[in-house]
Amino acid sequence: MHLTEFICFQIPKTEHEWLAVAKHYQTLWNFPHSMGAIDGKHVVLQCPRNSASEYFNYKNAFITVLFALVDANYNFIFVDAGCEGRNSDRGVFTNTELYKKLEAKNLSLPQPVPLNGREKSVPYFFLLEMKLFL
């Protein structure tokens, strides 16, 4: 039994929409080229029926993971809920639809451009914890 379910709230569909998210980060937080913040939250739950140890993690509890991408105002852009708690943060991330679309280059992300007053192009990016890549 798998609880995983993903929900797209207002995920940008065009480069123009992604640029609007980045512009809002620049305006509100003075953080250029950010297209959203990514994080996950472990949520304790009662053992799902017939799940064996899939949701049991190193904290000796049954856990499901809420994974989200938010805009500059903390509004959800993307949510993936229900991943098994035994997975690492990287494992959770790489199993999301967001990651799959990112890898397949299906998100219409903007091309790198120079920051204001600079000449070297800088890519747009997501803010996240480094442990997602360890």
What pLDDT sits at residue 113? 96
Enter the tokens of residue 21. 């998210």
Cα separation values, 87 from 10, 38, 39, 66, 107, Å: 27, 17, 15, 12, 25
Neighbouring-strand partners of residue 70:
37, 76
Structure tokens, 121: 């192009």
Which residue is associated with the tokens 């993903």? 6
The model's pLDDT over 78-94, given as tens digits with 9 standing for 90+, comes to 988 766 655 666 777 88
Report if pTM > 0.75: yes
Q: In this predicted structure, which of 37-41, 51-55, 100-104 has the lowest mean pLDDT?
A: 51-55
Q: Which of the 8 DSSP states describes residue 46?
A: P
Question: HSE of 120 in the Cβ direction (CA atoms, 13 Å)?
Answer: 1
